[in-house]
Amino acid sequence: MLEPENDDRYTVPGLERGLRILAEFSRSEPVHTAPELARRLGVPRSTVFRLLVTLEQMGFVERTSDGRAFRLGLAVLRLGFEYLGSLGMVELGRPILERLRDSTGYGTSLVVRDGREVVFVLRAVPHSPFASSVSVGTRLPAHATVLGHALLADHSLAQLRALYPDAQLEQRGEQTPVDAAQLFERVKQVRERGHVISDGFYEAHISTVAAPVFGDGNHVVAAIGLTVPGNRVPDEQRAPLVAAVCGAAAELSALLNYAEPALAQADADKPRAVSSRQQA
């Protein structure tokens, strides 16, 4: 019989430390020195240096030109691409996102949730001058984005409070929910409508239409989003865009073996995929 996954007897301290070192590198902090990492992790400098040399030999980090600091290596990128390739929904979703982009003229995205963050795993960029800073791998706070609200559509208030135990949520704009209870109200609206549409919610010059993607067991596994330049989706486009995004999400959900419950009344309080016929 397998022991619980969190049993400390099965952890490898050296491996844990090496992974924690990799996790310290980010877009905002791409370069670190061994002494700095030692202070952050509370690990002896000699230990950190040995771990960095090991990671360097494997290609996961590389030295800067002066040889005094380290940054991520190409092996991390290769591992990231292998991860994306292992996600069946990425390959299944690629033609769906491309068709959605071509039919609407707007950029489309497929996102998943990693804890309290939204992660972009697929993008279909529009053929237009509008350029977005978002790319595959970009992370955004789930509580402060409508894509995150779509990804949290199957969460109860208790689950949200467990995910966000702090009394107040970090504010990223005037429309950011202030706490888990307010976030739940936003999530509940996504659950009831099957989609969410924002007018400059996270960034004032970008609007979004999003819908959750469901897998086995009626769980949200991803979300599809469509990005509209400007602080408001034009009124005449709102219903057609909502229908298009919901249709794309329903198509991908079907490919992921999602089956909407037959007893709609009995499952009225559960999130559901929305057909392309439904409007905003």
pLDDT digits (tens, 9 = 90+) for 197-223: 887 666 767 888 999 999 877 789 999
Beta carbons of 86 and 104 less than 8 angstroms apart: no
The β-bridge partners of 108 are: 124, 226
- Lowest mean pLDDT segment, chosen from 80-84, 124-128, 212-216: 80-84
The domain boundary, picked from 52, 76, 100, lies at 76
- Domain residues for 47? 12-76
- Lowest mean pLDDT segment, chosen from 17-21, 58-62, 198-202, 269-273: 269-273
Is residue 272, in this structure, part of any structural domain at all? no
DSSP run (H or E) holding 221: strand 220-229
Q: Return the structure tokens found at 238.
A: 């709102």
Residue 263, Cβ density class (10 Å: 0-12 exposed, 13-18 middle, ≥19 buried): exposed
Q: Are residues 53 and 91 in the same domain?
A: no
Beta carbons of 255 and 216 less than 8 angstroms apart: no
Q: Are residues 54 and 97 in the same domain?
A: no
- What is the tally of structural domains in the chain? 2
Whether the pLDDT of residue 262 is over 50: the answer is: no
**Residue 5: per-residue pLDDT:** 53
Q: Are residues 70 and 91 in the same domain?
A: no
Whether the pLDDT of residue 151 is over 90: the answer is: yes
DSSP structural state of residue 277:
T
Q: Are residues 222 and 190 in the same domain?
A: yes
Entry pTM: 0.68
Q: Return the structure tokens found at 104.
A: 């609407």
Q: Are residues 68 and 97 in the same domain?
A: no
Q: Are residues 31 and 92 in the same domain?
A: no
Tell me the mean pLDDT in the region 30-45.
91
Is residue 82, in this structure, part of any structural domain at all? no
Is residue 33, in this structure, part of any structural domain at all? yes
Tell me the mean pLDDT in the region 266-273.
44
Q: Are residues 54 and 148 in the same domain?
A: no
Q: Are residues 170 and 222 in the same domain?
A: yes
Q: Are residues 95 and 152 in the same domain?
A: yes
Q: Are residues 51 and 179 in the same domain?
A: no
Q: How confident is the model at residue 158 (pLDDT cuts 50, 70, 90)?
A: very high
For residues 110 and 279, which has the higher predicted lDDT (pLDDT)?
A: 110
